[in-house]
Structure 1
Amino acid sequence: MTHATVIGAGSIGVSVAAHLANRDVDVTILDRGYAAGETTGKAGGLIFSQLHEPSDVRAMDYSIEYFRSLSDDDNHFTFHQTGFLRVGTEAERPVFEHEVAMQQEAGADVRLVEPDEMRSIYPDLSLDGVTVGTYAPADGYADPHTFTTTLLADAEADGVDYRPGTSVTDIDPGDSPSVTTDEGTIETDVVAIAAGPWSHRVASLAGIDLPVKPYRAQALVTTPVDVDIGTVYDAHEEVYFRREQEGGLLVGDGTEEVESDPDDYSQRADFDFLAKMSDTIDHRLSAGEVGVQNAWAGLCTATPDGHPLVGRPPFEPGGASRPNGVVVAAGLQGHGFMRSPAVGRAVAALLCNDRQTYSDWDPTRFDAHPGDFEIEEMLKLEGKHHHLR
């Protein structure tokens, strides 16, 4: 393979392009808008290894090291290694204990923590009702837009041809693949679809029925607060918050587990979300009077089983035939930015070595079409380990 065409210039698409360019593959990357202009630019920027499945934990080992390395090498991008504390009640303890054991076995530096240690980690955090937590000191956060544009600049220096403002109108997925755009046709060896919530529509241009659904999530940034805090997830209330560099807090989740139209959804945060986040801040932090500086909604993309679709897809789930000239990198369940380095590596390994890095992510894993599947938000604990409930 000598040439790849990547559709989508968010963190996933740019990572795919950068990893392929590092293997001396010529890459063209297309986006109807501009880099990090949609889902990536609205992401919360959390980077953490405390995930629910071993394959995802192992993927984050690579991603965290990638973020750290880029941060060390480039003064435009910074990975803030603040640590990540999850807090909960006795209702969350069985899941916390199970996940910490699994995460440690998968190689993560994470431990179960009790209230005394939590107070030493974040003294300004109120532990009212909290009886248990988990903590990973290597976790943290970064700015998704800066990461993507920094990595794209590096990729362009390596020869990647970036074409913003280019709409894809057709894909030929056959033995001699091509991508038709409003600027002309590109002959290529493989088409990589990394279009986030638009991935289903883009894949349909190649005759592929991709089982993904976009769903809405919300976040806000407060006015500056005088508290010392890093990155926290309240697993009982299902809310995360972290420090922003300007002195405020980024607070979020507000997930709606219903399908949204990526071309027609409300990008404004709901009043109920703003009220709940305000109550959480008052409850967990003695920050005094706190205002809202900015609030928004973005889109995540779900799959039937919560695992990403990274690899060569069949024309339809459960089908035996699949196109030779298409790979997908979609359905990251709201964790796309932080897993983007691992996804880029996985796509490059598959295309250059024909090796599937994470079997749980293989798009051919479904035995049958899942039909109208339910959307499940992946940061929360509820429903993840049924045998513990």
Structure 2
Amino acid sequence: MRERFDVVVVGAGIFGLAAATELRKRGHSIALVDRFGSGHPLTSSTGRSRGIRIAYDHPFYVELARDAIPRWRALEAATGRKILHLTGQIDFGMPEKLAGIVAAVRSVGGEIEELGAAGLRARLPHLRLDEPGLFHAQAGTVLSDEAMAAMKAQVLAAGAALYEPERVIAVETGSAPRVVTDRRTLEAGTVVIAAGPWSGALLADIGIDVPLAPAVAQVTFIAAPELVDLPGIGEWGGDEDGLGGVYGHPVPGVGYKLAFSSGQQGWAPDAVEWKTDPQEQARLLGWLDRRMPDFPRTVQLTQRHPWTMTPDGDFIVDRVGPVVLACGCSGHAFKFGPALGPLVADMVEGRPAHPLLALGRSTLVSKTVAANDPILR
């Protein structure tokens, strides 16, 4: 079976759905292909929730987050689904990181408070800190399962074709780019690779080598509905077990989600499930003993899913010939959701890549990357 589209998007996760939606708005014919099915538990764009925040140490991400929030609200209005739960966020940890966040947020007109330990405890009484930190209100939770369902419904209503579950066998470039799956051949003017941890192998097969390190991340949901209106947290560095920092946010209907900001090695492209790591969960509860000793301890659910690190923690959104790369999300892309679409659509339409996301940036090629690197942004 052979079909022709302006753009074929490989991967129907958050990046792929956002790209396809924006490209349909701009009049392009679109096909999406996903190996397991959009939002499948083996993929990166899965699970109950993701954090959202404007607290970044680079103005690009601050502005992207501020753009994402009204786009999420518009998607809520269009689909009738509850997606955002904004309760604010407290950031603490490395002073140089906090200073960078304050400078970046304020440089683009965002609001963020610098608070002492007492001010932080007033916001989150469970927190035991002696040092100062930050609070900002434009933060909280994206209900990711609802978000994925809403974005999928939106892109299908816009007329995109979605082939799932369907495995891509080959991407062929040249004068007539094609995506070959185990069921059909899709001809395209442009191919977008937004396949999460599978992106590296697909790109390598067509001679595009990028430094990507897939990892397996674990998240723990604490069963405590009374915590649902608390602010999220972000600890930058300082974990004595060498696992980087910790992040968390409230989840309506559950309580609170907590996780380390670094993943583990061991991702495999043909895995059929990700078994939870009880030792990592025990270390996370040990972190609670130190930082929030009176926080509830009842674990409702622990999940694992992959993410894909780059050496500098920034995404890759760039173009090589007829191929657009939308990968290397480094554990912090989901929150931007529909705001990611214009980044990819601009590449498809021939605009230059943002310097922070470009393949040729010095920080992408001068550093090494490992699966257990912590989230840097």
TM range (shorter): 0.7 to 0.9
Taking the aligned partners of 2:149 and 2:296, their CA distance within structure 1 comes to 35
- TM-score under structure 1 length normalisation: 0.85
Runs of 5+ consecutive residues of structure 1 not aligned to the other structure:
314-323, 382-389
The answer as to 2:328 corresponding to 1:331 is: yes
Partner of 2:257: 250
Shift of 1:363: 1.7
The answer as to 2:348 corresponding to 1:345 is: no
Amino acid in structure 2 at the alignment position of 1:71: E
Amino acid in structure 2 at the alignment position of 1:118: L
Q: 1:288 to 1:340 in 2, by over 3 A?
A: closer
Taking the aligned partners of 1:164 and 1:361, their CA distance within structure 2 comes to 29
Which of the numbers 364, 369, 375 marks the counterpart of 2:360? 364
Residues 16-25 or 275-284, more deviating: 275-284
Partner of 1:121: 123
Shift of 1:284: 4.3
Partner of 2:46: 41
8 Å contact from structure 2 (residues 49, 251) kept in 1: no
Residues 37-46 or 12-21, more deviating: 37-46
Partner of 1:272: 279
Shift of 1:60: 1.8
The answer as to 2:180 corresponding to 1:172 is: no
Taking the aligned partners of 1:267 and 1:36, their CA distance within structure 2 comes to 15
Shift of 1:136: 1.6
Partner of 1:158: 158
The answer as to 2:65 corresponding to 1:60 is: yes
Taking the aligned partners of 1:289 and 1:178, their CA distance within structure 2 comes to 52
Amino acid in structure 1 at the alignment position of 2:231: G
Partner of 1:294: 301
Partner of 1:229: 230
User: Alignment partner of 1:141: what SS?
Assistant: strand
Partner of 1:109: 111
Residues 14-23 or 219-228, more deviating: 219-228
Shift of 1:367: 9.7
Partner of 2:217: 217
Partner of 1:93: 95
Partner of 1:387: none
Residues 242-251 or 257-266, more deviating: 257-266
8 Å contact from structure 1 (residues 28, 160) kept in 2: yes
Taking the aligned partners of 2:373 and 2:160, their CA distance within structure 1 comes to 34
Shift of 1:254: 5.9
Q: 1:224 to 1:255 in 2, by over 3 A?
A: same
Which of the numbers 13, 18, 39 marks the counterpart of 1:15? 18
Amino acid in structure 2 at the alignment position of 1:194: A
Taking the aligned partners of 1:82 and 1:367, their CA distance within structure 2 comes to 34
Taking the aligned partners of 2:364 and 2:103, their CA distance within structure 1 comes to 33
Q: 1:347 to 1:225 in 2, by over 3 A?
A: closer
Taking the aligned partners of 1:363 and 1:166, their CA distance within structure 2 comes to 28
Partner deviation per Cα, 1:24-65 (whole Å, 9 max, x = no partner): 111000011111112110475011121232322222222223
The answer as to 2:70 corresponding to 1:74 is: no
CA RMSD of the aligned region, Å?
2.6
Shift of 1:372: 5.6
Taking the aligned partners of 1:325 and 1:118, their CA distance within structure 2 comes to 50
Shift of 1:332: 0.9
Taking the aligned partners of 2:60 and 2:48, their CA distance within structure 1 comes to 22
Q: 1:67 to 1:170 in 2, by over 3 A?
A: same
Runs of 5+ consecutive residues of structure 2 not aligned to the other structure:
240-244
Amino acid in structure 2 at the alignment position of 1:234: E
